[in-house]
Copies of this chain bind each other. A is one copy, B any other.
């Protein structure tokens, strides 16, 4: 494996691919085991064994055991933000938001079985549902930032994806404006509500369609940006 002189294709080096694989394996193992025997009865040891790594390695990938149940796809947040930045300038912030999320949700529906199990796990252990909800909303902050950037006037300087908040909380940010936050909150709300609704009537409708409907309902009243 030497001649890899120029191979930073889609996924990046081999090392990174392996990391993604390991992470995905851990997350999937966690969800499957939890669906079988209940999340509370699944130890980190069992998850690690199922994924073929050591316990210590598990904690190199997840901050806590519950994270493995909650964070199925670690960088969905990054992808959405990137999609927002890449969206054609002609789209209003709301439209761009709607499209970016709809695409992401359609993608998720491809792995229908895994997400179904995930939903079941969350349904049977409210403790994890709370964590999941919280995790979703943590993304809203990053979303608001990107929206603010877009509103501020494209700022196509680099289009480098905004990294997720490192969580240190050190850096005092310049007090985000209200409107971007409302947009982000609305988007998050739409995702959440449609997820709930979709979970109830599972298989009857396409997730993305439910989402578009809910999004439209919520968005109908938001005043247009001042610009």
On whether A220 and B221 interact (CB within 8 A), knowing A124-B169, A193-B185, the answer reads yes
In the complex, the answer to whether A192 meets B185 with C-beta atoms within 8 Å is yes
**Contact residues in B for A20 (Cβ distance below 8 Å):** none
Expressed in whole angstroms, the minimum distance between the Cβ of A173 and any Cβ of chain B is: 9
**Contact residues in B for A218 (Cβ distance below 8 Å):** 182, 186, 221-222
In the complex, the answer to whether A181 meets B169 with C-beta atoms within 8 Å is no
User: Is A116 an interface position by the 8 A CB rule?
Assistant: no
**Contact residues in B for A127 (Cβ distance below 8 Å):** 63, 167
Bitwise interface map of A from 30 to 61 toward B, beta carbon under 8 Å scored 1, else 0? 00000000000000000000000000000000
Expressed in whole angstroms, the minimum distance between the Cβ of A178 and any Cβ of chain B is: 6
**Contact residues in B for A134 (Cβ distance below 8 Å):** 129-135, 137
Q: In the complex, identify which listed stretch (A103-111, A146-154, A196-204) lies at the interface while the others stay far away.
A: A196-204
In the complex, the answer to whether A189 meets B185 with C-beta atoms within 8 Å is yes
**Contact residues in B for A192 (Cβ distance below 8 Å):** 137, 185
Expressed in whole angstroms, the minimum distance between the Cβ of A179 and any Cβ of chain B is: 9
Set B167, B196, B217: member contacting A222, Cβ < 8 A:
B217
In the complex, the answer to whether A138 meets B126 with C-beta atoms within 8 Å is yes
Residue of B nearest to A194 (CB): B178
Which residues in chain A, 86-131, are within 8 Å of chain B measured between CB atoms? 123-127, 129-131
In the complex, the answer to whether A130 meets B126 with C-beta atoms within 8 Å is no
Sample of 19 A–B contacts (CB below 8 Å): A126-B167, A129-B134, A130-B137, A130-B138, A131-B131, A131-B134, A133-B137, A134-B134, A178-B214, A181-B197, A182-B193, A182-B214, A182-B217, A185-B192, A186-B218, A218-B221, A220-B222, A220-B223, A221-B221
Known: A126-B169, A130-B135, A131-B134. 6 other contacts (CB 8 A): A133-B133, A175-B201, A181-B196, A181-B197, A217-B223, A220-B223
